[in-house]
Amino acid sequence: MAQVNKNSEIKKLFDSTQIVSLLADDSELPLEVIEVKTITSSMPEQTAFSVLLQAKPDQLWEQGMFKLQLADIKLVVFMVPINQTKAGVIYEVVFN
């Protein structure tokens, strides 16, 4: 049950945030939060959601584990590139 509450709190933070930081080596790279979407689950007690993040056009990374700074917490997430446009690279992170 604690995981459900944790995901709910993380979703609230993403809902109220426009920029998160990707922590890489000794630098922080800004990522724009462009969408936070609830995922319908067969288990209604779960809080599942996805987040789309946009990086600069030259920041293309393969899917993998990354560290994000969101408000005052650090998250280790699996991030997948799903689209590349002139505006930037779109990544998806799923919480379930």
Neighbours of 6 (CB within 10 A): 13
pLDDT digits (tens, 9 = 90+) for 9-35: 899 999 998 999 999 888 889 999 999
Instruction: List, in sequence order, every beta strand (DSSP E) within the chain.
Output: 19-24, 27-38, 49-55, 64-70, 73-84, 89-95
Domain definitions of the chain by residue range: 2-95
pLDDT digits (tens, 9 = 90+) for 33-86: 999 999 987 776 778 899 999 999 999 999 999 999 998 899 999 999 999 999
Q: Is beta strand 49-55 parallel, antiparallel or unpaired with respect to 64-70? A: unpaired
Q: Is 27 exposed, middle or buried (0-12, 13-18, 19+ CB in 10 A)?
A: exposed
Q: Which CATH number fits domain 2-95: 3.30.70, 3.40.50, 2.40.10, 2.60.40?
A: 2.40.10
Residues sharing a CB contact under 8 Å with residue 41, sequence separation 6 or more, in sequence order: 48, 96
